[in-house]
Amino acid sequence: MMVDYDRKGLIVGSQRILLFSASIHYPRCQPSDWQQLIEFAKEAGINCIETYVFWNQHERERGVYDFSGRLDLFGFLQTISQAGLYALLRIGPYICAETNFGGFPHWLRDIEGIQFRTQNEPFQRESSRWVRYLVEQLNLHRCFFTQGGPIIMVQLENEYKLIGQNYGEAGRNYLKWCSELAKDLHLPVPLFMCKGSIENVLETINDFYGHHEIDNHHREYPNQPAIWTECWTGWYDVWGSGHHIRPCKDLYYAVLRFFAQGGKGINYYMFYGGTNYDQLAMYLQTTSYDYDAPIDEYGRRREKYFGLQYIHRQLQRYFSELALSLEAPSFAYAYEQQMSLPEEQQQQQYYVWIYIWEMAHSNCIFLCNDHPTSTKQVHWRDQVYSLAPLSVQMIVNNDHWILRSDRLQDNYSVIAPPPCRSLSNIQWKWEYCPVDIPTSSNRISSSLTISSEEQQSVPEMLRHTGIATDYAWYIAYYQIDSRFLEDSSNSSLEWIGGQLDVEVADYVQVYVNGIYKTSSPLPLLEERFPNDWNQHDDHHNIVGRNSSRRVGFHQHMEFTHSQEIIQDSTFCIAFLVSSLGMIKGDWQLEPGWNMKDERKGLLGIPKVAWKIRGRDGTCPLQLVSRIVLEPLWMQWPLSCSWLSTLDIIPREGPCWVRAMISFKEESCASFHHWLLDLKGFYKGRIWWNGQDLGRYWLIPCQNCLQCSFPVKEEIQKETTQRFYFIPKSMITCVNELILFEERAITTLEDMDLLEIPCDHTKPIELNPLDA
């Protein structure tokens, strides 16, 4: 039983299939939920599940492989197979996926002489070792279609065209090496790759609108089907943004428009987004990976789900036989071109397109309006059709009107699930453990005489911490310039504030002699450096609204406080730096840098100056010690002396808090998924029953940080993410919640647990055409 393809589409075994695939990433959901999510996808007309393979999760320590729990790739593939669905597997080694380091393990960065994603012996050696091991395990578990498993295609590398020009001949040689590696793996199914194919590989499409790429695809690859491997159903959120959504109507238009023009398969990225547990999230990525997908983060079906389900039913019933029998539409033309208009009124761009798929006894006609704002009238076979902006209407056998992408809600109605409810009678038993803030010489040599070489040396954080913790202290002594003191020998110095200029990745809080003073200015930017994409300003590309603020790692901070007489000219300054995840691609770094140049922590000597009452300007401080790095570990068990009193909580500074939440045994069985409401907290990490739920940050929503048409940004809520998902499988009768809060807890009174109702959502079909 082989898998193959031609211009008409995919051939799986003895049959052709019109591909409807759904992206579900196994590490972003719980194994106990895999079956339900896959069944939901199947009920929506999906016949295939797509996932990346996350090298960064499976080999956190070189040579030590983990395929347990959420990382049980083979169990996930088996669940797909048991549902009777196919699988697309994207094995990397690079995957992007908004995951930490683009899917590379963190230790890869520190291998001597390495350069990522180019012709480079250390990188190719490690990538080959991982990919060969993975394929060996896939063969052992008989995961490929030819072995009775679900995998019908495999992707090697990912979107290389986006960076290939940066590496020139070395990049082209790397792609040749990928091709040779693929041959050497003897994979029993076809290979595919999006945006930058290697030799003898199916090239696929990633875009908001797949039909934009079809004509170019067929010119470059005349014998291949048009497969859309990433139809973006929404977009991801970053800390400081609102929630990104893609309107349902726009998605429906894009899907139908693609098939109308000749598309032979689609994968919805994402169909279920899930949660960035543990260290899954890339730099600045929120813990929620909801993505505005058809199934929300909590496993509930949205209106978008039922709209796509309806489209799939109509395409399968009326269009699939035509699509799989014909290479392209029988007729395709611009409607405006057929109109008898004076030459001066003829348009340079046509918006209304008609695609006719026709065989002896059936046809399917798609009327498409590509204009973003104008409604168009179309006369077709003695009828007038009004096409809304960015819409498609589907007609069968010349006059059987099947659907309108802008009016799908006319065919069904969705009853929304009931709201989440607060769990009553929770007895919170809190304990508290403050973290020592560096204030004295116990961290630094008592001698303040240092060499210039030591003064310029700043330890790089990741070399000391890896991904074992997000946090490290940088501790140093600064001293007021002696000349300034001499000028002020006869008067007291009243310190009223200060300013700092720091090169840092990612977020920093500054303590002076143990007292919090200031922190990174917000919002932080996902793309801190200018690149080819964020400088564009058109409706297909990212809008560079913050291009003037793309200042790399530089952060300028100022603070003021009530006056304080300076008693000592020397200050202990402690910088608490937190990582917000590693980058997903080298375009997020300085132009010309490689992914191996990713770094965290202080990246240079901070410049510090105090504001003194009655003095113009500022008084610069001089570094008079080494800068010492001290990781703030997140290792278990915690070496904490837990305090039962919370009287100390209002102070500013990092701390651990712990709560035990107990329920009667008879009530536990009825629990569903929960949400943790962290109102009253600010920023840190969450553990529930020993499992890392990821980062939290109640950062205020800013104006649109980085919008991509057609994605919109909701700014109705105060913070980017206030609620954090606790899956049912993690809940027991006795639960332990631990939080590391890095700034300050304003109150514990507002924290809450909410229960998410089960998904009993059902569409009510008002016009069941397929009855």
Q: Which residue has the tokens 């036989």?
A: 321
- Are 702 and 523 within 8 A, CB to CB? yes
The mean per-residue pLDDT over the stretch 15-32 comes to 98
CATH superfamily of 436-632: Galactose-binding domain-like (2.60.120.260)
| Distance (Å, whole) CA 92 – CA 198 | 13
Is residue 676 within 8 A of residue 731, CB to CB? The reply is no
Does residue 648 have a pLDDT over 60? no
Q: Do the strands 691-697 and 683-688 form a parallel or antiparallel pair, or are they unpaired?
A: antiparallel
Amino acid (1-letter code) at residue 355: Y
Q: What is the mean pLDDT of residues 133-152?
A: 98
pLDDT for position 569: 85
Residue 616 three-state SS = coil
In CATH terms, 3-325 corresponds, of 3.20.20.80, 3.30.43.10, 3.40.1410.10, 3.40.50.850, to: 3.20.20.80
Mean pLDDT over 308-333 rounds to 96
Whether 230 is a known active-site residue: answer: yes
Neighbours of 414 (CB within 10 A): 17
Confidence of residue 771 (pLDDT cuts 50, 70, 90): very low
Task: Band the pLDDT of 348: cuts 50, 70, 90.
Answer: low
Alpha carbon separation from 429 to 622, 623, 658, 661 (Å, rounded): 47, 45, 8, 7
CB 571, CB 440: distance < 8 Å:
no
Question: What single-letter DSSP state applies at residue 552?
Answer: T
**537 has pLDDT over 70:** no
Model pTM?
0.94
Helical ranges in 353-492 per DSSP H: 452-455, 461-465, 482-487
Asked if pLDDT for residue 152 goes beyond 50, the answer is yes
pLDDT at 770: 43
d(CA 127, CA 121): 10
- Cα 72 to chain centroid, rounded: 21
**What is the predicted pLDDT for the residue at 539?**
39
Confidence band for 448, pLDDT divided at 50, 70 and 90 = very low
Helix, strand or coil for residue 461?
A: helix
- Burial label for 19, CB within 10 Å (0-12, 13-18, 19+), is buried
Res 403 pLDDT > 90: yes
Closest CA to 630 of 477, 459, 508: 459
Q: Are 695 and 687 in contact (CB under 8 A)?
A: no
Give the separation between CA 101 and CA 92, rounded to whole angstroms: 12
Give the strand pairing for 19-24 and 263-272: parallel
What letter would DSSP give residue 94? -
Q: Where are the beta strands (DSSP E) in 319-382?
A: 331-334, 352-359, 362-369, 376-380
Judged against a pLDDT cut of 80, whether residue 703 lies above it is answered with no
Q: Which of 54-63, 497-506, 667-676 has the lowest mean pLDDT?
A: 667-676
Distance CA 227, CA 10 (A): 9
| 25, containing H or E segment | none
Residue with token string 């009238």: 377
Number of other CB atoms surrounding residue 568 within 10 Å: 9
User: Whose structure tokens read 């080999």?
Assistant: 59
Catalytic residue (one of 50, 98, 157, 230): 230
What is the CB neighbour count within 10 angstroms for residue 49?
30
The residue among 426 and 8 whose pLDDT is bigger is 8
Tell me the C-alpha distance between 311 and 233, whole Å.
15
Strand spans (E) along 471-528: 471-480, 494-505, 507-512, 515-519
User: Cα separations (Å) of 615 from 32, 551, 557, 571, 610?
Assistant: 65, 30, 20, 20, 10
Determine if the peptide bond prior to 591 is cis (ω within 30°): no
Is residue 49 scored above 60 in pLDDT? yes
Q: Is the pLDDT at 2 greater than 50, yes or no? A: yes
Average pLDDT, the chain: 90
Q: What's at 40, amino acid-wise?
A: F
Residue that wins the pLDDT comparison between 571 and 418: 571
Please determine, for residue 679, whether its predicted confidence score (pLDDT) is greater than 70: yes
pLDDT confidence bin for 641, thresholds 50/70/90? confident
What is the token pair recorded at 330?
A: 């029988």
Q: Which amino acid is present at 2? A: M
CB count within 10 Å of CB 337 equals: 12
User: pLDDT tens across 263-305, in order?
Assistant: 999 999 999 999 999 999 999 999 999 999 999 999 999 999 9
Model confidence pLDDT, tens digit, residues 561-602? 877 777 778 999 999 999 999 999 999 999 999 999 999 999
* Positive or negative torsion for Cα 106, 109, 165, 541: positive
Classify the C-alpha dihedral 253-256-262-264 as positive or negative. positive
Q: What architecture (CATH level 2) is domain 421-432+654-755? A: Sandwich (2.60)
Give the whole-angstrom CA distance, residue 700 versus residue 722: 10
CA distances from 215 to 219, 226, 328, 347 (A): 6, 9, 11, 20
For residue 549, is pLDDT > 90?
A: no
708 touches 658 (CB < 8 A): no
159 assigned to active site: yes
Token couple for 668:
């536990």
> What percent of the chain has pLDDT above 70?
89
Helices (H), 221-318: 248-261, 303-314
Is the CB of residue 171 less than 8 Å from the CB of residue 165?
yes
Task: Please check whether residue 376 is in contact with residue 369, taking contact to mean a CB–CB distance below 8 angstroms.
Answer: yes
Q: What are phi and psi of 3, to 5 degrees?
A: -120, 135
Query: 201-251, pLDDT tens digit by residue?
Result: 999 999 999 999 999 999 999 999 999 999 999 999 999 999 999 999 999
Q: How far apart are the first and last CA of the chain?
A: 34
pLDDT of residue 446: 40
Any idea how long the chain is? 771
Query: Using CA atoms, how far apart are residues 178 and 127, in angstroms rounded to an integer?
Result: 10
